[in-house]
Structures are given as structure tokens and as C-alpha cells.
């Protein structure tokens, strides 16, 4: 048997522009600007920091099908939102039944803005946020304070706040939500909200958004967001049911 080890693969040639340094001298000759070879790296970093859940990572407007009229107009509005950024003065309140594509649409906008306009966006599943906050109680607030957990969501220039109203609205839940949205309202940060609850109950005796989030939050949302009704079949069950066998 030969004892000659295979040659290690040659390292990729350095970027001809920056010679692998990653930065170039700006035209003023005094400052450094990132080289174009770093663009992909930066875009990946931005996507990771947006904390988009695995299931929705590839959601785009291109792969958002419009089966209903409300999906078609919501998609058109989403394109206008993206094209107009940063000259946008209200976020979106996407309201509709289970599986109509609310989270897909919200993440598609976030993905596109993070990718093409370099926006510092953040995804927040509201139920997850509440769980994280609640876990600080049992740990005696040792690792991360509630303030440290919430601050990135208060500050992000664009926040997707998913599943608003899905958790039973205790006083504590309403206080957390009020604290977060009131700060974003005061700082004029844009928020895309998704929720199953509208202003009219889905069925007689059902709950409204105002009941789930409280009057002060519903009032702020009216000023912070444009209403986007989204109706359609439950995509999970009716359009693309899971298959184990071909
Ligand atoms: N119009 C659509 N085109 C393509 N895929 C869709 C569409 N609507 C939904 N989907 C897909 O169906 C699944 C469910 O959609 P999504 O999670 O966005 O629904 P939702 O309205 O947020 O539901 P829920 O109220 O339960 O949160 C996702 O995998 C999503 O990518
Ligand atoms: Mg959803
Ligand atoms: Zn380079």
C-alpha cells in the first residue's frame, strides 16, 4: 500500500479585487468599504439575524400562489410595500383564517426586504416570545432579563409579529404586548402583524381582535398598520396535504 497522502485541495484563489482582504479603499482614499465578494456573506448574516423559522425560510412572493381574490390583492399590496420601502409609513395587519398564508406572506416581505434592500428585519412568533419571557420567572431572571429579551423586538426597523392574539389574553400577556407595541409606536418602527382575529368575530359569539389584544393595542394597531384581509382555503389541509408515499 502506498504511504503517499493525497494532496490537500488548493485553497480558492483570493478575490482579485480585494485580494481576500474583504474591503476596498473608498474613493475618498481614507475610508474602507466592504468588497462585493462579501455581499453574499453579509446577506446570509442578515438572514440569520432576522431569525426566520426553518419552515418559512424559502417563502417568497414568487411562490405565494393566489387562489382567491384577497390573496391576489394582498400579494399586489406586498409588492408595493417592498418597492416603496423605505418610504412606507404604515405596517400591515394581515388578518385571516388558519392556513390562508398569512405567515408566508409576511415572511416573504421580510425575506425580500432583508435580501434586496439590506433592511434589519426580525421575525417574532409572539407565543415563543411569551414562553421565553415566562421562562425567566422560573430561572429567577438569572441568564437574560425580560428587558434584554424584548429590546431587539422593540428596536428592529421592521418586525414581523406572528400569531398575535393566539395566546389566551391574561393581563400579563396584554401588558407585554402593550409594552412592545407602544414602544414601536412611539419610535415609529414598522410592524407586520399576522392574526386569526378580525374586528368581526368569525362565528357568532366568537372573539374579536380587540378582545384578544385589548383596546389600547387595537387602537395603536389601527394607526400603525394597514389592514390586509386574507382569506382562502387552509393550504395545509386542502391545497398541499402531507404525503408519505408517492
Ligand atoms: N398562497 C399560498 N401559496 C403558496 N403556499 C402557501 C400559500 N398559503 C399558504 N401556503 C403554505 O401553506 C402553509 C401554511 O401557510 P401559513 O403558515 O402562511 O398560514 P397562516 O395563515 O399563517 O396560518 P395560521 O393561522 O395557522 O398561522 C405554509 O407552508 C405556506 O408556505
Ligand atoms: Mg401563521
Ligand atoms: Zn473581494
Q: Does 103 sit in the ligand 1 pocket, CB within 6 Å?
A: yes
Instruction: Determine the pLDDT at residue 34.
Output: 84
Say whether pLDDT at 4 is over 80. Answer: no
CB 121 within 8 A of CB 108: no
Say whether pLDDT at 19 is over 80. Answer: yes
Give the Cβ contact number of residue 54 at 10 Å.
Answer: 6
3 state DSSP class of 92: strand
Q: What are the extents of the domains in the chain?
A: 59-239
Q: Which of 75, 81, 62 is nearest to 119 (CA)?
A: 81
Query: How far, in Å, CA of 75 to CA of 101, rounded?
Result: 11
Average pLDDT rounded to a whole number, residues 239-245 = 71
Question: Of 47-56, 95-104, 180-189, 224-233, where does mean pLDDT reach its minimum?
Answer: 47-56
For domain 59-239, give the CATH number. Answer: 3.40.50.300
Q: Does 235 sit in the ligand 1 pocket, CB within 6 Å?
A: yes
Cα–ligand 2 centroid distance for 159 (angstroms): 15
pLDDT digits (tens, 9 = 90+) for 175-214: 999 999 999 999 999 999 999 999 998 888 889 999 999 9
pLDDT digits (tens, 9 = 90+) for 84-128: 999 999 999 999 999 999 999 999 999 999 989 989 999 999 999
Say what the pTM is.
Answer: 0.85
Q: Does 195 sit in the ligand 1 pocket, CB within 6 Å?
A: no
Say whether pLDDT at 10 is over 90. Answer: no
pLDDT digits (tens, 9 = 90+) for 186-196: 999 999 999 99
Residue 143: pLDDT band by 50, 70, 90 thresholds?
Answer: low
DSSP-assigned letter for residue 34: E
Instruction: Determine the pLDDT at residue 185.
Output: 95
C-alpha cell at 151: 429590546
What does pLDDT average to over the chain?
91
Element (H, E) at 218: helix 215-224
Pick the atom of ligand 1 nearest to 96's CA: 21
Instruction: Determine the pLDDT at residue 191.
Output: 98
Element (H, E) at 211: helix 209-213
Q: Does 98 sit in the ligand 1 pocket, CB within 6 Å?
A: yes
Amino acid at each position: 500500500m502506498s504511504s503517499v497522502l493525497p494532496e490537500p485541495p488548493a485553497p480558492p484563489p483570493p478575490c482579485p479585487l480585494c485580494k481576500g482582504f474583504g474591503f476596498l479603499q473608498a474613493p475618498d482614499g481614507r475610508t474602507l468599504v466592504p468588497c462585493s465578494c462579501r455581499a453574499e456573506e453579509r446577506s446570509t448574516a442578515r438572514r440569520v439575524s432576522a431569525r426566520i423559522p426553518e419552515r418559512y425560510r424559502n417563502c417568497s412572493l414568487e411562490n405565494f400562489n393566489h387562489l382567491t381574490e384577497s390573496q391576489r390583492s394582498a400579494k399586489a399590496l406586498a409588492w408595493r410595500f417592498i418597492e416603496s420601502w423605505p418610504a412606507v409609513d404604515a405596517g400591515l395587519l394581515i388578518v385571516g383564517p388558519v392556513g390562508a398564508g398569512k405567515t408566508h406572506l409576511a415572511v416573504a416581505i421580510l425575506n425580500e426586504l432583508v435580501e434586496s434592500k439590506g433592511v434589519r428585519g426580525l421575525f417574532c412568533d409572539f407565543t415563543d416570545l411569551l414562553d421565553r419571557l415566562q421562562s425567566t420567572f422560573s430561572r429567577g431572571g438569572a441568564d437574560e432579563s425580560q428587558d434584554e429579551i424584548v429590546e431587539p423586538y422593540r428596536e428592529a426597523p421592521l418586525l414581523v409579529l406572528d400569531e398575535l392574539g393566539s395566546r389566551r389574553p391574561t393581563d400579563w400577556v396584554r401588558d407585554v404586548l402593550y409594552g412592545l407595541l407602544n414602544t414601536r409606536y412611539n419610535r415609529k418602527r414598522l410592524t407586520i402583524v399576522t392574526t386569526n382575529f378580525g374586528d368581526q368575530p368569525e362565528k357568532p359569539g366568537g372573539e374579536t381582535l380587540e378582545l384578544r389584544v385589548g383596546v389600547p393595542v387595537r387602537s395603536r394597531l389601527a394607526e400603525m398598520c394597514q389592514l390586509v384581509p386574507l382569506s382562502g382555503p387552509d393550504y395545509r389541509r386542502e391545497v398541499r396535504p402531507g404525503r408519505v408515499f408517492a
